[in-house]
Amino acid sequence: MATSPQPAPLTPRRHSGISRRLLLTATASTLFVTATACGSAVNTADGSSSDGLITLSMHNPDSETQDPATWQLVQEFNKKNPDTKIKLEGQPVEQHEQRMTIAAQSGTLPEIFWVYDSLAKTMVKNGDLLDLTPILAENNLKAKFAPSMLAGFRSGTMQYGVPYQALITGFYYNKAILSEHGIAVPDTFDDLLAAVKKLKADGVVPIAQGANNSSFSVWAFLTMLDRFGYESQYPDILSGKARYDNADFLRLYQHIQELAEAGAFPVNMNTQTYAQAVASYTAGKAAFLDAGVWEAAKIQKSTVGKDTGFWAGPTFSDGVGDQKLVMNVPSAPFVVSAKVKEDQKKYAAVKAFIQFYYSDAGQKILADNAQPPVTTYKPELGSTEDAVFAAVLAEAAKPGWTSPKSQPDLVVSAATASAMYDSFYGVMGGSLSPEEAVKNVQKTLK
């Protein structure tokens, strides 16, 4: 099963990302039955200690292949710290969320674990998580983070989480296809719409998208939502002072309808998965791909790697607020069980791992696996072998451009996030009008 986009999908997903978030309204008894049935999915990564002093529980059943950066980080840490080895384990996203929910209720949480922020916030309220402020204070580790990378995982004065990986999303584009059809890389929405019409007329799929079992794969369109004022409006929307079905958001959905009617999306969009959409792009069958940094290494190794660039998406003349936005935000966090503080050896091991993960040496391992650093560490990239990854990082660091604090679906309930995904794909596929789409999201907001 794919991981979630909240993280960046590693195997569509990820991410980190990238599978819908577990609805946390399920009863504990139901979760217990489900988790018990899925118990065999708890896998220990090869090369980690089966009797490690502490456990790192992840959202991938096979981190070595699905999340090689984390796997390598654990291997390096274990080599350097033979007396405090980490056991690395994992399950598919929804099973992992279920297991962490049950573990919190039974007081058996692993020492360190990945979790969606919505569940982490619930755990904070219940006193299940450790305040990481003292750990970040040591060796001045906090100074290595941009404030936006930590702010989303804070509750009052408590720093309950740290960013697992960074989430940079947008459109990959095939320079050769655009050049062959006399199309410049778009800047504005009007540019994109004109490119779509030209590509469609010439028999080329403009934008690779896959909705089947992958409805979360609308990252570039979530960024567009921020270009219509989402970040400033969502607190009032969540509190009931404003509505999702407002005139600003409706204009965005009307623009998406324009793209759909111009033939922007593949005719099999609703039956192909996100993974198949990626495959169509890497095979040179589409001009653009809606995805994120997690696909950089795969694209680099494909036949279109030498021709691929990265674009943060279109600006809008009728948008709201700053249009120079690129999505470069922390994905779901690492958190630590509050019980770790009761065991000095485990606390020391957790502290050592966090210090290593966010050190320059640890962040270099992320960069070596085509994952953007979450600290201020700046990787040295090769001129050709890292060209796609470098293009992503360059787009995220464009002068004068800023990032929202969070991806839009990460600050709402699981039900609302799912409705957002479905609303975009509904308009893309023609099953929903823009008016119906925004109303459907509003229905999930209490």
Give yes or no: residues 305 and 427 share one domain: yes
Q: Give CA torsion, residues 68, 72, 75, 81, to 10 deg.
A: -140
| pLDDT at residue number 14 | 38
User: What range defines the domain where residue 345 resides?
Assistant: 28-166+331-381
Q: Dump pLDDT digits (tens) for 252-298.
A: 999 999 999 999 999 999 999 999 999 999 999 999 999 999 899 89
Q: Is 111 inside any structural domain?
A: yes
Q: What would the 3-class secondary structure string for 286-344 be?
A: EEEEEEEHHHHHHHHHCCCHHHEEEECCCECCCCECCCCECEEEECCEEEEEHHHHHCH
Asked if 231 and 403 count as a contact pair (C-beta separation under 8 A), the reply is no
Give yes or no: residues 153 and 190 share one domain: no
Q: What are phi and psi of 398, to 5 degrees?
A: -60, 135
- Of the candidates 101, 89, 91, 90, the residue with the CA atom closest to the CA atom of residue 22: 101
- Average per-residue pLDDT in the chain? 88
Q: Is 387 inside any structural domain?
A: no
| pLDDT at residue number 426 | 98
Q: Is 1 inside any structural domain?
A: no
Contact partners, residue 29, CB within 8 Å, separation at least 6: none
The stretch 341-366 carries a mean pLDDT of: 96
Structure confidence at residue 226 as a pLDDT band (50, 70, 90): very high
Asked if 437 and 423 count as a contact pair (C-beta separation under 8 A), the reply is yes
Q: Dump pLDDT digits (tens) for 9-62.
A: 433 333 333 333 333 333 333 333 333 333 334 555 433 434 569 999 998 888
pTM assigned to the model: 0.79
Cα 44 to Cα 89: distance, rounded to the nearest angstrom: 4
How much of the chain, in percent, has pLDDT values that exceed 70? 88
Give yes or no: residues 347 and 258 share one domain: no
Give yes or no: residues 284 and 313 share one domain: yes
Cα 354 to Cα 377: distance, rounded to the nearest angstrom: 15
Query: Strand, helix or coil at 184?
Result: coil
Q: Is 22 inside any structural domain?
A: no
The CATH number of the domain holding residue 101 is 3.40.190.10
Return the amino acid letter for 427: V
The stretch 308-314 carries a mean pLDDT of: 98
Give yes or no: residues 403 and 373 share one domain: no
- Of the candidates 301, 358, 323, the residue with the CA atom closest to the CA atom of residue 140: 358
Q: Dump pLDDT digits (tens) for 81-119.
A: 998 899 999 998 778 989 999 999 999 999 999 998 889
Cα 98 to Cα 110: distance, rounded to the nearest angstrom: 13
Q: Has residue 2 got a pLDDT over 70? A: no
Give yes or no: residues 109 and 174 share one domain: no
Per-residue tokens: 415: 């039900």
Give yes or no: residues 76 and 201 share one domain: no
Q: Is 368 inside any structural domain?
A: yes
Give yes or no: residues 215 and 68 share one domain: no
Q: Dump pLDDT digits (tens) for 410-437.
A: 888 878 988 999 999 999 999 999 999 9
| pLDDT at residue number 33 | 36
Cα 40 to Cα 403: distance, rounded to the nearest angstrom: 40
Give yes or no: residues 251 and 119 share one domain: no
- Bridge partners, 187 (sequence order): none
